[in-house]
Amino acid sequence: MEKKRSTAAVIFLISLVLSLLPAVVLSQAVQGWKAPQDVVEKLSKSQPRYNYYEEKVPAYTLPELLVTLDGKKIDNSDAWTRIRRPEILELFRENVYGRVPETPYEKSFRIVSENRNAMGGAATLKEVDIEILSEGKSLTIRLNLFVPNNAGKKVPAFLVINNRGTDQADPSRKIKNEFWPAEEIVSRGYAAAVFQNSDVDPDNFDDFKNGIHGLLDRGERKGDSWGTIAAWAWGASRCMDYLVTDSDIDAGKVAVLGHSRGGKTALWAAAEDQRFAMAVSNESGCGGAALARRKFGETIETINRAFPHWFCRNYVQWGNNEDSMPVDMHMLLALIAPRAVYVTSASEDLWADPRGSYLSLYNSLPVFRLFDRNTSLSDQMPPLNSPVNSGNTGYHVRDGVHNLLVKDWNWIMDMADKVFRL
């Protein structure tokens, strides 16, 4: 008799546990991604100056997206385009990235080589020199471009801002890696374009004497003089200048993509240059997609101390003073509307604040809805390795560390397929 009771009790407990499983799974799905606790503790121990605990994020209020500087509410796409967008663009030029000088220059394009049998015949490789000339001085940006053969029509393109070594974007394809998987990009029907950010401006503090700063800067630098990220973004636009002339490229379907500091650059390039139909920010963090007011991981004070050349001098004043800054990064993403923006994070890359990056995208949605009222994302992050998109906005958080991998690329291209209706 006791044995029967014991068996019945076990069966009851098993049934109870099974009955609760759907609720547990549902709860996790609604809650979405959370930073791995072991990663939080490890980073907090190794970098005690910085916050990696969500419960320590301070309360904050984001600047209004749809209220003009003189207090008028914006409720339609026309008013956004004519009034509010130019205001916000100027605020970012003044306070974050700086403004491009108006120094006149000439540019020219030269196809240095063209190999119609690249990638075993799958693509044509064009190596293009973009020459910038001003007052007798010149600078050359090398653009490497793989175009799918036998497409039978103009193709969309991904323009990658390479902030790593040249071996990470090898046009000979003797060296291959996941950072720029040109073969996979071409096989999906896209042209794969890349330029080296150092061709435009060096990634070190040289008092802005070299690169495009040395070519175009005139007179004494001001608080809103452009930094290196703005210079790299300018370089992306010069590559776009070439792409619109290439008869193989659908110039209305060019996505600009960058990783880390390149991701910051891609967002600013798309904000400044509306010819880019899509911007992809891969783990761009502080000064990119992540909300500054969260003060999570890398902060404004930290980034300006480590990389004093990236931003304009005025940006320094917002270190440890984020709540007074007239912008935050949801406004940067909103500048790209109604064009597409895709933001990515990695689960162990807490320095770049995955949650702050998603919240930035989420808080940019009121502007995207002015153009497409059906655009909607959850206020909760998606689960790990579960991309989400709505309208022209999308996001994923991948497992692993700070990097750009084929897994990221596949999800990015899935989004681009939708945006470009491929």
The Cα 421–Cα 262 span in angstroms is 26
Give the strand order in the sheet containing 137-148: 106-118, 123-134, 137-148, 191-196, 155-162, 249-259, 278-282, 340-346, 393-398, 388-390
The Cα 409–Cα 122 span in angstroms is 19
Q: Reply yes or no on whether 396 is catalytic.
A: no
User: What pLDDT score does 422 carry?
Assistant: 76
Selected catalytic residue, list 187, 198, 390, 402: 402
The Cα 107–Cα 133 span in angstroms is 6
| DSSP character at residue 94 | I
The Cα 215–Cα 106 span in angstroms is 12
pTM (2 d.p.): 0.92
User: What pLDDT score does 31 carry?
Assistant: 58
The Cα 296–Cα 57 span in angstroms is 7
Instruction: Domain ranges for the chain, please list them.
Output: 2-31, 54-419
Question: Across-strand partners of 340?
Answer: 278
User: What pLDDT score does 137 carry?
Assistant: 97
How buried is 400 (Cβ within 10 angstroms: 0-12 exposed, 13-18 middle, 19+ buried)? middle
In what helix (H) or strand (E) does residue 124 lie, and over which residues does it extend?
strand 123-134
Half-sphere exposure (CA, 13 Å, Cβ side) for 394? 26
Task: Divide the 422 residues of the chain into consecutive groups of 10 and give the mean pLDDT of each group.
Answer: 42 36 31 92 98 98 98 98 99 99 98 98 99 98 98 98 96 96 98 99 97 97 99 99 99 99 99 99 99 99 99 99 99 99 99 99 99 97 98 99 99 99 82
Topology of 54-419 in CATH?
Rossmann fold (3.40.50)
Selected catalytic residue, list 213, 225, 259, 260: 260
The Cα 304–Cα 318 span in angstroms is 10
Question: Is the preceding peptide bond at 308 cis, omega within 30 degrees of 0?
Answer: no
Residue with tokens 């994070």: 345
Parallel, antiparallel, or unpaired: how do β-strands 388-390 and 340-346 relate? Answer: unpaired
Rg (CA), the chain: 23
Cα torsion through 84, 234, 320, 361, rounded to 10: 50
Q: Reply yes or no on whether 260 is catalytic.
A: yes
